[in-house]
Amino acid sequence: GAGVSQSPSNKVTEKGKDVELRCDPISGHTALYWYRQSLGQGLEFLIYFQGNSAPDKSGLPSDRFSAERTGGSVSTLTIQRTQQEDSAVYLCASSPSGMDNEQFFGPGTRLTVL
Amino acid sequence: QKEVEQDPGPLSVPEGAIVSLNCTYSNSAFQYFMWYRQYSRKGPELLMYTYSSGNKEDGRFTAQVDKSSKYISLFIRDSQPSDSATYLCARVKAAGNKLTFGGGTRVLVKP
């Protein structure tokens, strides 16, 4: 079956612009995670959605970052007023129930802020 | 100090050799330990996970956890060029929670 998909695969933007990154989880998976991978910081947790529960936003680095998940499926990560330090690969993962150990990752969106 | 530490490598080995990868961690609250493999320009994929101390085998891969030393290892036997990738160790406090990753070790298996 289809895995986690993310779009766009690459995004180049200018400093100060807003960007939206999209994640389509595996159908039926109730848990969805966003991570960021950069050279200096490795792979870091950003935010976690589980069903209808309030999301765990503890990893968001600033209030410029926000995410939503509509209808328990597709998620959008929004970065406002992008900065050069936001340049990274943004990875989305999903798991069947949120009580599983395996998270299935998408290919990521490579964001470059000029 | 980062919660999970990994040597970034690169670790270069000849085909057929045993690859030995290690991670150390600082927070005893972590309960589950995982190894992910990541090829260039791809998302990580789960190789193995374990909960308890001791060894767990899956084909050519063996994961080892020593909770008393806060040390986790991954061994790859009979390494192949297709094993060339970045290997990430990760821990989670409870099932379903966010993963805390090490920085990853890049492995190169030369034919």
Query: Tens of pLDDT along B69-96?
Result: 888 999 999 999 999 999 999 988 766 6
A13: pLDDT strictly greater than 90? yes
Is the minimum CB–CB distance between A4 and chain B shorter than 8 Å? Answer: yes
- Measured CA to CA, the distance from residue A81 to residue A88 in angstroms comes to 15
Residue of chain B whose Cα is closest to the Cα of A34 = B98
- Owner of token pair 């966010």: B98
Q: Which two tokens stand for residue A113?
A: 């802020």
Name every chain A residue with its beta carbon within 8 A of the beta carbon of B88. Answer: 43
Name every chain B residue with its beta carbon within 8 A of the beta carbon of A44. Answer: 101
A99: pLDDT strictly greater than 70? no
Give the residue from B105, B25, B93, B97 showing the smallest Cα distance to B65: B25
Tally C-beta pairs within 8 A across A and B. 55
Name every chain B residue with its beta carbon within 8 A of the beta carbon of A98. Answer: 96
pLDDT of residue B50: 84
First and final C-alpha spacing in chain A: 37
Shortest Cα–Cα distance, B90 to chain A (Å)? 10
Which residues of chain B are under the pLDDT cut of 70?
A: 1, 29-30, 94-96
